[in-house]
Amino acid sequence: MKLLEERMLKDGNVLGKDILKVDSFLTHQVDFKLMKEIGKVLAEKYADRGITKVVTIEASGIAPAIYVAEELDVPMIFAKKHKNITMTEDILTAQVYSFTKQVSSTVSISAKFLTSKDRVLIIDDFLANGQAAKGLVDIISQAGAEVVGIGIVIEKSFQAGRQLLEDEGIEVTSLARIKNFNDGKLNFMEADA
């Protein structure tokens, strides 16, 4: 997605050897215009696939996911990273290790929101080691629902996440694929949309 790559080059900051900070338009301050475009491009890719639910994980996945859901005219569910005392009934859970935050956390979705008839499109802001996406796949599978694909805003293609998901037979659609950060500069691979 050209518009996204251009924005990453303009406003993204490379930190160290493997972190890209995009907090001015995606992960902290959010540009709704870009999110709408992201929603359109990902929804178009999955328009004829019978998607019934969009699933993401709090918090940075929510803005792109709601626009994908709007385009596909289906509900969006955001998985929770922490249990809440108002989550009293059956919940589906998975353990997710975050390399960024260096903590393991329980990700959960209320069982009542996913059934075996659901065809799910997972949306997330980043794909790096694939742990968060893998956790969502596990939860959706526990519900007997089908993961039709995973739409990613920014993929760090030098990390193992994409392979991990493809090895499970899941289609990954990444709008920007970072090949490497050589010399502190963003180098892209060809994106999926």
- CA 183/CA 38 separation, integer angstroms: 28
Q: Say if residues 132 and 107 touch (Cβ distance below 8 Å).
A: yes
Q: How far apart are the first and last CA of the chain?
A: 6
156 is an annotated ligand-binding site residue: yes
Distance (Å, rounded) from C-alpha 40 to C-alpha 47? 10
Of 96-125, binders to a second copy (CB under 8 A) are 100-102, 109-110, 113
Q: Does 130 count as an annotated binding residue?
A: yes
**Contact, 76 vs 57, CB < 8 A?**
no
Q: Quote the CA–CA distance of 182 and 7 in Å, as a whole number.
A: 19
CA distance 19 to 27: 13
139 scored as a contact of a second copy (CB under 8 A): no
- What is the C-alpha R_g of the chain? 16
Q: Which of 62, 160, 186, 189 binds a second copy (CB under 8 A)?
A: 62
173 among the known binding-site residues?
A: no
Shortest approach of a second copy to residue 125 CB, angstroms?
Answer: 12
Indicate which single residue of 7, 45, 80, 162 sits in contact with a second copy (rule: CB under 8 A): 80
Annotated binding residue 187: no
Is 21 annotated as belonging to a binding site? no
Tell me which stretch binds a second copy (CB under 8 A): 57-65, 135-143, 148-156, 172-180: 57-65
With tokens 């160290």, the residue in question is 16
Question: Shortest gap between Cβ of 57 and a second copy (angstroms)?
Answer: 9
- Binding residues for xanthine are 20, 27, 156
Binding site for a second copy (CB under 8 A): 15, 19, 21, 23-24, 27-32, 35-36, 58-59, 62-63, 66, 69-70, 75-78, 80, 82, 84-88, 100-102, 109-110, 113
